[in-house]
Structure 1
Amino acid sequence: MALDEPGRPERSERLEQSGRLEQLERYYDAVPRPGARAEDFGPLTLFVREGQGWPYYARPTLGWTGREATADDVRRVLARQRELGAPESFEWVAETTPGLRTVVEAAGLTVHEHPLMALVAEPDPDGPRSRPAASVTVGVLAADDPALPSAVAVPNLAFADRGTGIGTAGPTELDEAVAACLADGAVERIADRIRAGLTVQAAAVEDGVALCAGQHQPVGAVTEIVGVGTLPAARRRSLAQAVTAALVADAREHGVTTVFLSADSEDVARIYARLGFRRVATALIAEPAESAAPAPTTAPDEQ
């Protein structure tokens, strides 16, 4: 077939998309395993956190070739999650497992959609050129960096007051959040992951305190940017874009070829587009209807 034959570009794009989604499925299956055990429910796999830390979720079983999941399968997983005291949560990619949404909703869960984006282009040359103030240092943090406790704590405040507008939580609330993260071991857990090469933590630091922070979690040549959040009182200072750019630069420097993330909303997706990210699919998160809409893995909260 000639390269210019009608239909060839479309087929090439479909093959590229299929390969990318398969790559992301392998990543989604691999990334919880260092800190979780996998429980088999046929077409579904439940990842159960071993020890303290961020709880995991259920998702489609990697490489499953049997029957599609049913609402009864979902209910079995939900019963196990309740037994374990784990969140009743499912995560998957709509385009990869399109039939799962119907059965998850039939089991009584509410599904939230988030743009799934991959880095496929250079930053928008017509985008804003704003940079953080000279008083702010942006970069990757070592496990023993004095700013690490505030970097671990600040996204908690960001996701508790979601959006792009300037909020009220400031230095006092950040001090309280740092104390809580130190007390429950969250800071040491992140430090351990940094030492093990499982997590890269970046932050925008001013006067020794992280005003914005985020992470990427490499598995081979793939990584996901997660948990980018700015102290609400420090928004609108171009901090989240700078932290995201630092994470991308670190990933590229260490040989990562696929960088992706899930955005909080279409508005936030447009911010990421300025950095070269493009929507490639839809990330779905399902939780009980009474739960608040979950934050996706990442959401820069400033424009």
Structure 2
Amino acid sequence: MSVLGQLEGFYDAVPRAGARAEDHGPLTLFVRDGAGWPFYARPTLGHPGPVGAADVARVRARQRELGVPEAFEWVDETAPTLRAAAEEAGLAVHTHPLMVLDPAAAEPAPHASSVLSEGLSVRILASADPALPTALTVPHLAFADPGTHIGTAGTNSLTALVPLHADPVAVERATTRIDAGLTVFAAAVDGTTALCAGQYNPVGEVCEIVGIGTLPAARRRGLAYAVTATLVEDALAHGLRTVFLSAGDEDVARIYARLGFRRVGTALIAEPFV
């Protein structure tokens, strides 16, 4: 099976662990059961036909009916008609480099010296790790201020948002997934505060590294590199053979390239214009 074929199987399998799948012909809508990050619609695995604007419009109507985000995610190379259909249906389409770890470069480089010299701990988080609540929260701050520039949101902002993004239900869900081996979290931790965090989710021998986010005020210190390297090391140690991710932009992709990731396609996300 090709690499993109492996990724398509992964993309279809992962949401099914925490969502129900609604069949909408060439599109499948995943709807989360309970609290947590909302899911999206994506091309139906194995569907032979093209996707049209009317297909996108029908799923958008269903998403509005359910009160979930009108979001679509897919790989351009495996669903080449969907971009034009999404744009015709009135959605904004965002592009992200899709990258797979090169097996020939599968030994991650050492953690950035700046991380170690500052006394930070870069580690895989156990379910009882006191840094888990901030690790669940810091990506929300990072994604609210995307890019690699140094921002203003610091630890005070992080602490204020922990009750919103790491309430007891969210922490319990995360700890259950950790203990079940469904998700692996890593973080760069100062004391008990995660300044950068991310995770990977394994399915068979494939895993996706997702949610790598650095506290905006803590950027440009090598934290995202170190957290990603830690996740890669752990994934390889557990026998995962295909490790992939989607970079936020070309600048971020260059960071991942230093770890041995190579571009294999383009991940697309469609959502309403803001």
Q: TM-score if structure 1 supplies the norm length?
A: 0.86
Aligned to 1:91: 73
1:122-154 Cα offsets, whole Å, 9 max, x none, are 279999964413411111001111111111111
Q: Describe the SS at the equivalent of 1:68.
A: coil
Task: Give the Å deviation of 1:206.
Answer: 1.2
Q: Distance in 2 between matches of 1:259 and 1:126?
A: 16
Aligned to 2:101: 119
Which one of the candidate residues 71, 79, 84 is aligned to 2:61?
Answer: 79
Which one of the candidate residues 147, 154, 171 is aligned to 2:138?
Answer: 154
Q: Distance in 1 between matches of 2:12 and 2:109?
A: 37
Q: Distance in 2 between matches of 1:111 and 1:103?
A: 10
Structure 2 residue 45 is matched with structure 1 residue 62: yes
Q: Distance in 2 between matches of 1:125 and 1:171?
A: 29
The worse-fitting range, judged by mean Cα deviation, of 122-131 and 182-191 is 122-131
Structure 2 residue 243 is matched with structure 1 residue 259: yes
1:100-125 Cα offsets, whole Å, 9 max, x none, are 11111111111110000000042799
Which one of the candidate residues 63, 86, 94 is aligned to 1:104?
Answer: 86
Aligned to 1:190: 174
Q: Describe the SS at the equivalent of 1:63.
A: coil
On the 8 A contact 1:143/1:191 being kept in 2, the answer is yes
Q: Distance in 2 between matches of 1:204 and 1:145?
A: 12
Aligned to 2:199: 215
On the 8 A contact 1:123/1:274 being kept in 2, the answer is no
On the 8 A contact 1:213/1:230 being kept in 2, the answer is yes
Q: Distance in 1 between matches of 2:201 and 2:226?
A: 18
Aligned to 1:269: 253
Aligned to 1:5: none
Q: Which has the higher contact order (CA 8 A, sep 6+)?
A: 2
Aligned to 1:14: none
Q: TM-score if structure 2 supplies the norm length?
A: 0.94
**What runs of 5+ residues in structure 1 fail to find an aligned partner?**
1-17, 291-303
Q: Distance in 1 between matches of 2:208 and 2:167?
A: 27
Q: Distance in 2 between matches of 1:262 and 1:241?
A: 14
Q: Distance in 2 between matches of 1:74 and 1:54?
A: 21
1:158-203 Cα offsets, whole Å, 9 max, x none, are 1111121211111111111212223373222211211221110000
On the 8 A contact 1:124/1:273 being kept in 2, the answer is no
Task: Give the Å deviation of 1:225.
Answer: 0.4
Q: Describe the SS at the equivalent of 1:95.
A: coil
Q: Describe the SS at the equivalent of 1:31.
A: helix
Q: Distance in 2 between matches of 1:26 and 1:192?
A: 24
On the 8 A contact 2:31/2:40 being kept in 1, the answer is yes
Q: Distance in 1 between matches of 2:72 and 2:64?
A: 13
Aligned to 1:49: 32
Q: Describe the SS at the equivalent of 2:116.
A: coil
Structure 2 residue 22 is matched with structure 1 residue 39: yes
Larger Rg: 1
Aligned to 2:218: 234
**What runs of 5+ residues in structure 2 fail to find an aligned partner?**
none
How many percent identity over aligned positions? 64
On the 8 A contact 2:99/2:246 being kept in 1, the answer is yes
